[in-house]
Structure 1
Amino acid sequence: MANNSSLASRAVLIYDEWIKAADPRVGDWLLMSSPVPHTMIIASYIYFVTTLGPRIMENRKPFDLKKPMIVYNLSIVGLSLYLIYEFLMSGWANGYSYQCDLVDYSNSPLAIRMARACWLYYFSKFIEMLDTIFFVLRKKNSQVSFLHVYHHSIMPFTWWFGVKFAAGGLGTFHALLNSIVHVIMYSYYALAALGPAYQKYLWWKKYMTTIQLIQFVMVTAHIGQFFLMKDCPYQFPIFLYVIGLYGLIFLVLFLNFYYHAYTKGKRLPKVQAQNGSGPHKKQQ
């Protein structure tokens, strides 16, 4: 018991020392005071979509969620368009060099605007958990893959640390790209949810995976610049390693998906048309 108490005390001290480096501007924003609340949300999400939800739905008929899904998908498109605008206006089209862009920790209107854009992007990852919940309620359990759940869990978890310590700078480029990709993807899902009459407008389905691959290449190339620069005093390099690793992992996973789905001539299951992301669901 004494050893356990000592370890707990040491962990608290390490956490207290570590949290001192956090951005004081975001401390009282929703979910930002501690990593515990959002970790509990993520754990509950994983438990529901992998265990509780399928168990509840086992002897029930699938829900007809056509109208809610249309509204949801169009809402994500709107939110993604707003995020693109905010990321551009707070840095990426307003002063950023696309090279060694540091985090601005000042209270200037532009710096606060970027921090708020980062927080909203982080919060949007919880909204997007509805993708998986829709699968469960519609009894499309085959779509609840490891890659799908991993993506929806790891994004909000890692982005909490991004907002808490580095809300801005070159570490946010992938969020801008991801928001652009989401406009395309969720527009597709909204059309698909309208029903068979709109299938003729979905000829570009297979190109979504290509768009994803381009996204990962751009993210990896952008982050890769940091390791070639002689002098780039980015405040938290650990985040760049995480983003770079994340981009590489998903680049490999999507290349594998593309190979099996298209190069080998295998066709995507039709169920993927309605928020049916297998791997071609979103990335970042």
Structure 2
Amino acid sequence: MKEYTQVTMPNYSYMFNFESDFIHQKTRTWMQDNWTLGFYYCGIYMVLIFGGQYLMQNRPRFELRGVLVLWNTLLATFSIMGACRTVPEFFHTLTQHGLYHSVCIPSFIEQDKVSGFWTWMFVLSKLPELGDTIFIVLRKQPLIFLHWYHHITVLLYSWFSYTEYTASARWFIVMNYCVHSVMYSYYALRAMRYSPPRQIAMLITSLQLIQMIIGCAVNLWARQLLQQQQECQITPFNIKLSITMYFSYFVLFARFFYKAYMSGERRSKTRNAPVTADYPLLKSKVQ
């Protein structure tokens, strides 16, 4: 593997104790030893959401507005913190060490305790984010394929990539944190009965589409580097998984974007839509 002992890290004005105490080797070992848990969680998730839909068929919907406000506010706060703590390393790497390093060298985990901690938090956060779907089921909102497919695949892929210290994850994590910062803030405002302009929802979905395009581009470039026999900390199998995921997300999000914002029928129906009617449309986490 390419030596990068001289890689510089960004100058953080402050480090929390839980960041400075982070030991990446321990978390990687735990994730490797417990990799099957992700599949168990996804199995339980599928039973709960589809079993829940069956049980809710003849029951009145739950309001849950207060819980929804708290839930989205917590996730928005977490995403904003994650973005604030990972973006500095990302831009420092791009400006000081170049594009190749940002895609192929996992120094953001192995040498930067701040970014390393929030990378681990990113992977773990995909488990509680499964709870988004519970609100859809209990409030009897439409549950589309994109929503639960995205949740499951992101959780499994993120867990797998962390065990491999996939270097290109630097891009996916930063993009996802940034998009989720806006997305969950939007959801929190909607749950509080505020009505942000419809263009904000369009912007978020557009950002997600851009995220998918960049994700595919990063993977294709990493694949080209491997074909040229250059050192790059990402396996061919991981690239195949990631490209498949990002491309499928792009197709599904593009289809949703058209139906949600460009179809005349959809526009007329969403003017007075309930708070979480658009819950499925904005979900994106690789990422």
Unaligned 5+ runs, structure 2: 1-23
Whether the 8 Å CA contact 2:180–2:285 is kept in 1: the answer is: no
Secondary structure (helix, strand or coil) at the match of 2:105 reads coil
Q: TM-score scaled to structure 2, two decimals?
A: 0.77
Q: Which residue of 2 is the match for residue 256 of structure 1?
A: 255
Secondary structure (helix, strand or coil) at the match of 2:266 reads coil
Q: Does 1:233 align with 2:231?
A: yes
Q: Does 1:216 align with 2:212?
A: yes
Read off the aligned partner of 2:64 and give its amino acid letter. L
**Aligned pair count?**
252
Q: Which residue of 1 is the match for residue 3 of structure 2?
A: none
Q: Deviations over 1:84-111 (max 9, x none)?
A: 123234x313335333431249864x1x
Q: Which residue of 1 is the match for residue 192 of structure 2?
A: 194
CA distance in 2: counterparts of 1:114 and 1:265, whole angstroms: 44
Whether the 8 Å CA contact 2:104–2:231 is kept in 1: the answer is: no
CA distance in 2: counterparts of 1:275 and 1:32, whole angstroms: 38
Whether the 8 Å CA contact 1:254–1:279 is kept in 2: the answer is: yes
Residues 1:249 and 1:272: Cα distance change in structure 2 (over 3 Å): farther
Shift of residue 148, structure 1, vs aligned partner: 0.8
Q: Which residue of 1 is the match for residue 91 of structure 2?
A: 93
Residues 1:251 and 1:203: Cα distance change in structure 2 (over 3 Å): closer
CA distance in 1: counterparts of 2:135 and 2:49, whole angstroms: 10
Shift of residue 77, structure 1, vs aligned partner: 1.0
Q: Which residue of 2 is the match for residue 120 of structure 1?
A: 121
Q: Which residue of 2 is the match for residue 134 of structure 1?
A: 135
Q: Which residue of 2 is the match for residue 182 of structure 1?
A: 180
Read off the aligned partner of 1:116 and give its amino acid letter. F
Q: TM-score scaled to structure 1, two decimals?
A: 0.78
CA distance in 1: counterparts of 2:191 and 2:32, whole angstroms: 35
CA distance in 2: counterparts of 1:263 and 1:200, whole angstroms: 19
CA distance in 1: counterparts of 2:154 and 2:108, whole angstroms: 23
CA distance in 2: counterparts of 1:117 and 1:248, whole angstroms: 26
Secondary structure (helix, strand or coil) at the match of 1:255 reads helix
CA distance in 2: counterparts of 1:135 and 1:247, whole angstroms: 24
Q: Which residue of 2 is the match for residue 11 of structure 1?
A: none
Q: Which residue of 2 is the match for residue 205 of structure 1?
A: 201
Q: Does 1:102 align with 2:110?
A: no
More deviation in 172-181 or 199-208? 199-208
CA distance in 1: counterparts of 2:117 and 2:206, whole angstroms: 31
CA distance in 2: counterparts of 1:63 and 1:257, whole angstroms: 26
Whether the 8 Å CA contact 2:136–2:276 is kept in 1: the answer is: no
Read off the aligned partner of 1:254 and give its amino acid letter. F
Aligned alpha-carbon RMSD (Å): 2.6
Whether the 8 Å CA contact 2:72–2:185 is kept in 1: the answer is: yes
Q: After the TM superposition, list the runs of 4 or more consecutive aligned residues in structure 1 that deviate by more than 6 angstroms.
A: none
Whether the 8 Å CA contact 1:217–1:251 is kept in 2: the answer is: yes
> Which structure 2 residues correspond to residues 11-90 of structure 1 after superposition, within 5 A?
24-27=25-28, 29=30, 33-51=33-51, 53-89=52-88
Residues 1:222 and 1:105: Cα distance change in structure 2 (over 3 Å): closer
Read off the aligned partner of 1:169 and give its amino acid letter. A
